[in-house]
Chain A
Amino acid sequence: MIHNANQHSRLVQKHKTMNFRKRDSIFGLLFVLPVIIYFIIFLLYPMGTAFYYSFTDWNMRSEPNWVGLQNYHQLFFDRLHYPYFWQSLKVTCQYVLISIPLSLTMALVLALMVDALRRGQDFFKMAFYLPVITADVAVATIWRWLYDPIYGLLNMFLGIFGLPAQNWLWNADMVIPSLAIISAWQCGGSMIIFLAGLKSIPSELYEVSSIDGASSWQRFRFITLPMLRPTTFYLLVTGTIGAFQVFGLVYTLFGAGGGTIGGPDQAGLTYVLYLYQQAMRYYQVGGANAMSMILLVIIFIVTYLQFRFVPQNYV
């Protein structure tokens, strides 16, 4: 019961607050509504259908029939239907194992050098970032040219030093290292992140160690590297996830324009390239979806292992 003006105004106030909260909630939901709609249409539903179709034999022409684990079984064991499944897995794993350490090491080395500069850091950040912002297509074009056995610059460069010319992209053994070199050339993004990490190391640590007479190498090993662990971990995890999915570059080098796909002896047939071929050229949508699911699991496992066994912090 309202007995006086005070109680009345407090009640009005409470009512206003409740109204405000309700209205605010409506605004909140309204603002995220487009995102939720998008999520349901373009993320949730596709995930569900991908999962469903991986258990069917859909080939885009007739109705999909449920075939249970047949696609998975064929991918793993049937060399007639999917001759290059294991090859593509092997190629991709090799690529990940070579390109990630190469790329991260180069990024760290460059970051350390740029960080040590007193002036001009912005210029170098931008310069090394240029290879990153170039389209995959342009990158493939440029590097195919550089790697050309006869007219390419790399072989000409080697020739100056009397070293033998290499068959960079057309020798099965050289394909993955050649791809890894391109990936290292594009380490600018990681370099910038390493730079941010380096800047966040408190300088007192270095100063105290100088007083204690530590050498540069000791400072690097016992201060810089451990303090960089969160950064390195982030780059390792995201880099690995990205490397497992490499497609644009390899497609332009080895996949466009019909004909045999995947380069010499399929040495460049990465997992996603093979997946793409199965879906778009052979219309094996069921099998392709199964491949996607398998990749998902692989990436989850690798990421989990990284979280479990790679040190994330300096303690």
Chain B
Amino acid sequence: MSRNNSKRNKVRQVLLLLILIILVIIFVFPFLWMISTSLKRGPDVYSTVPSLIPRDHKTGDIYVTLENYEYVLTRKNLARAFLNSVIVVVIVVPLKLLFDSLAAYSFARINFPGKQTIFMILLSSMMVPGIALLIPRVIVTQKLGMMDSLSGLIFPMAISIMDIFLLRQFFLSLPPELEEAAMMDGAGRFRIFLQIILPLSKPVLAVVTITSFIWHWNDLTWPLVVLTNPKLYTLPLSLAFLQGGLTGRSYYIMAGATISVLPIIIVFLIFQKRIIQGFTFTGLKG
């Protein structure tokens, strides 16, 4: 009886695996197509026989070309957009991490007057749809003199209430005895934060880092309204305008899109284990 069962289970597992692999191929295929197109020469892109591997449509030879990347990086200034995106992300993400986790720690562990009220008010702002804030935020940014500058991309985005919420829930789950022991030894709050809380919070910090990175790297809406100087465009913005002017030359666009996606994939692969751990941990129980 049990031997039959385990055989049946094995067959089921294999079948399941097969179906999932097919589905993954379907889901991931658009990517592969994007990368493949970016490596093709123009005339070979619209061949009658579509092929994932770049082939010369006259000779049938397989090749790979980087000319689209070169064009898009130099002639269309995607390299500068890439740099702008890097600058913004490298500044914003650590800023966010610092301010958000400090505040989250305070909400989780320190007692100060008005703590609950302030926290509730902050939380309620999460329920407001982003678009309602877009135009007024532009006005504020204008008044602060940050329009059409990279700092206009950084400071108005330097805090995320959702991340504070997430971090606070995590900090609440840490054993308070550690902090109490440290306090009895005379450690100040800031030291406790740096030397005890942060090292223990690696999974949730990884989640916040990667989600912030993805958000800011891919953000189109805010840079779209803040920037008018093409020299300051971030990558998604440049890519969007690239598309407007190059309908039909999809191989250039694909090269741009691949450039845009690659850093995320790399960062994601690096943090992958920690992220999935962080997701399931902080899922819906905390």
Q: Which one, B56-64, B69-77, B107-115, is touching chain A?
A: B107-115
Q: Which of A47, A120, A126 contacts B272 (CB 8 A)?
A: A126
Q: Which of A113, A137, A230, A289 contacts B135 (CB 8 A)?
A: A289
Could you list some 22 contacts between A and B, CB below 8 A?
A32-B107, A34-B99, A43-B133, A47-B128, A47-B133, A50-B132, A50-B133, A116-B12, A124-B20, A134-B218, A135-B236, A142-B257, A153-B33, A185-B27, A193-B283, A193-B284, A196-B283, A251-B224, A251-B240, A257-B244, A292-B129, A295-B131
By a beta-carbon cutoff of 8 Å, the part of chain A in contact with chain B is 21, 24-29, 31-32, 34-36, 38-39, 41-50, 53, 110, 113-114, 116-118, 120, 122, 124-131, 133-138, 140-146, 151, 153, 156, 185, 192-193, 195-197, 199-200, 230-231, 234, 241, 244-245, 247-248, 251-252, 256-258, 272, 275, 279-280, 285, 288-289, 292-293, 295-296, 299-300, 303
B192 CB to closest chain A CB (Å) equals: 10
Q: How far is the CA of A135 from the CA of B220 in the complex (A)?
A: 8
Q: Is the pair B103, A128 in contact by a Cβ cutoff of 8 Å?
A: no
Residues of A within 8 A of B269 (CB): 126
Q: How far is the CA of A303 from the CA of B124 in the complex (A)?
A: 14
Q: Is the pair B136, A50 in contact by a Cβ cutoff of 8 Å?
A: yes
Q: Is the pair A29, B272 in contact by a Cβ cutoff of 8 Å?
A: no
Nearest 3 interchain pairs by C-beta: A257-B244, A28-B112, A46-B136
User: Size of chain B's interface in residues, with CB distance under 8 A?
Assistant: 90
Q: How far is the CA of A31 from the CA of B50 in the complex (A)?
A: 58
Q: 1/0 per residue B71-115: CB within 8 Å of A?
A: 000000000000000000000000000011011011100111101
Residues of B within 8 A of A303 (CB): 127
Q: Is the pair B112, A138 in contact by a Cβ cutoff of 8 Å?
A: no
Q: Is the pair A45, B140 in contact by a Cβ cutoff of 8 Å?
A: yes
A220 CB to closest chain B CB (Å) equals: 15
Interface set, chain B 258-286, CB cutoff 8 A to A:
258, 260-261, 264-265, 268-269, 272-273, 276, 279-280, 283-285
Q: Which of B46, B103, B218 contacts A136 (CB 8 A)?
A: B218
Q: 1/0 per residue B174-187: CB within 8 Å of A?
A: 00000000000000
User: Is B17 part of the contact surface with A, judged by Cβ < 8 Å?
Assistant: yes
User: Is B23 part of the contact surface with A, judged by Cβ < 8 Å?
Assistant: yes
Q: Which of B20, B129, B136, B256 contacts A299 (CB 8 A)?
A: B129
Main secondary structure of the interface of B (DSSP, over half): helix
Q: 1/0 per residue B8-22: CB within 8 Å of A?
A: 000011001101100
User: Is B158 part of the contact surface with A, judged by Cβ < 8 Å?
Assistant: yes
Q: Is the pair A42, B140 in contact by a Cβ cutoff of 8 Å?
A: yes
Q: Report the nearest A residue to B95, measured CB to CB.
A: A34
Residues of B within 8 A of A252 (CB): 220, 240, 243
B264 CB to closest chain A CB (Å) equals: 5
B137 CB to closest chain A CB (Å) equals: 5
Residues of A within 8 A of B169 (CB): none
Residues of A within 8 A of B261 (CB): 133-135, 138
Residues of B within 8 A of A199 (CB): 280
Q: Is the pair A47, B132 in contact by a Cβ cutoff of 8 Å?
A: yes
Q: Which of A127, A146, A244 contacts B27 (CB 8 A)?
A: A127
Residues of A within 8 A of B225 (CB): 280
Instruction: Tell whether A130 pairs with B31 under 8 Å between CB atoms, given A24-B110, A272-B131.
Output: yes
Q: Is the pair B276, A231 in contact by a Cβ cutoff of 8 Å?
A: no
Among A141, A197, A300, max chain B CB count under 10 A is at: A141
User: Is B156 part of the contact surface with A, judged by Cβ < 8 Å?
Assistant: yes
B266 CB to closest chain A CB (Å) equals: 11
B149 CB to closest chain A CB (Å) equals: 16
Q: Is the pair B257, A156 in contact by a Cβ cutoff of 8 Å?
A: no
User: Is B250 part of the contact surface with A, judged by Cβ < 8 Å?
Assistant: yes
Q: Which of A21, A42, A143 contacts B30 (CB 8 A)?
A: A143
Q: Is the pair A53, B136 in contact by a Cβ cutoff of 8 Å?
A: yes
Q: Is the pair B20, A138 in contact by a Cβ cutoff of 8 Å?
A: no
Q: How far is the CA of A28 from the CA of B285 in the complex (A)?
A: 26
Q: How far is the CA of A90 from the CA of B280 in the complex (A)?
A: 37
Q: Is the pair A122, B276 in contact by a Cβ cutoff of 8 Å?
A: yes
User: Is B254 part of the contact surface with A, judged by Cβ < 8 Å?
Assistant: yes
User: Is B232 part of the contact surface with A, judged by Cβ < 8 Å?
Assistant: no
A83 CB to closest chain B CB (Å) equals: 20
Q: Is the pair B110, A133 in contact by a Cβ cutoff of 8 Å?
A: no
Q: Is the pair B132, A292 in contact by a Cβ cutoff of 8 Å?
A: yes
Q: Is the pair A296, B253 in contact by a Cβ cutoff of 8 Å?
A: no
Other than A137-B257, A252-B243, give 16 A-B pairs with Cβ distance below 8 A.
Answer: A24-B189, A38-B99, A42-B140, A50-B132, A116-B12, A126-B272, A133-B261, A133-B265, A135-B260, A137-B218, A138-B261, A193-B283, A196-B279, A252-B240, A257-B243, A279-B135
Q: Report the nearest A residue to B239, measured CB to CB.
A: A137
